[in-house]
A and B are shown apart, each in its own frame.
Chain A
Amino acid sequence: KQEVTQIPAALSVPEGENLVLNCSFTDSAIYNLQWFRQDPGKGLTSLLLIQSSQREQTSGRLNASLDKSSGRSTLYIAASQPGDSATYLCAVQYNTDKLIFGTGTRLQVFP
């Protein structure tokens, strides 16, 4: 069964810290992996997409890495800010086009 797990489930940190969010998946034959941000009661905002042939992607203070062989991806957030507070979801796409979502990491950054 294809499953996606994220740890930690929740994280509370002071402003300015560098963070690592983890995502693991059971079936390594992925097509791509996508990281999303979800604010409370809102839809999803795509942050980064890593295709299966890539090792990492960067956007501003965000860096996502992918290790297919070990079934892992990490999202690195540099110099965290209160505006980064949200739930972060990773989702894996296999060749069926649908996304399988992880359980999410709820992040709170306090001033």
Chain B
Amino acid sequence: SAVISQKPSRDICQRGTSLTIQCQVDSQVTMMFWYRQQPGQSLTLIATANQGSEATYESGFVIDKFPISRPNLTFSTLTVSNMSPEDSSIYLCSVLAGGGYEQYFGPGTRLTVT
């Protein structure tokens, strides 16, 4: 298994500003994922972050809006840039562990943009 922590756990931000979310894993993992969960919705993958390479973004998500860093095998950050109220969501990071089959999730960061 993997234990994942995220910072901050929640934040309230003004529109037009940016927020960086940190994700820390207790073991080295190759693949990390960032998901968004809008209010009342299921999870949608934003991007996949592999250490040493550029993140791969899903359709509808772009690097300018959601830049990702992956400096080592236990850490990643997601920045939500130039925020608008539509960015109000829970942002979750996850990793593949357990032999590469099972995904584990962090506790999430609840973002409210006013």
Number of A-B residue pairs at CB separation under 8 A: 50
A46 touches B101 (CB 8 A): no
Chain A interface category by residue count: 20 to 34
* Residue B110, interface by CB 8 Å: yes
Interface residue count for B (Cβ, 8 Å)? 22
Closest residue on chain B to residue A106 by CB atoms: B40
B103 touches A99 (CB 8 A): yes
A98 touches B108 (CB 8 A): no
A contact residues around B53 at 8 Å (CB): none
Shortest CB distance B86–A (Å): 19
The interface of chain B, by Cβ under 8 A from chain A, is 31, 33, 42-45, 48, 58, 90, 92, 94, 96, 98, 101-108, 110
The interface of chain A, by Cβ under 8 A from chain B, is 32, 34, 36, 41-46, 49, 51, 89, 91, 93, 97-99, 101-104
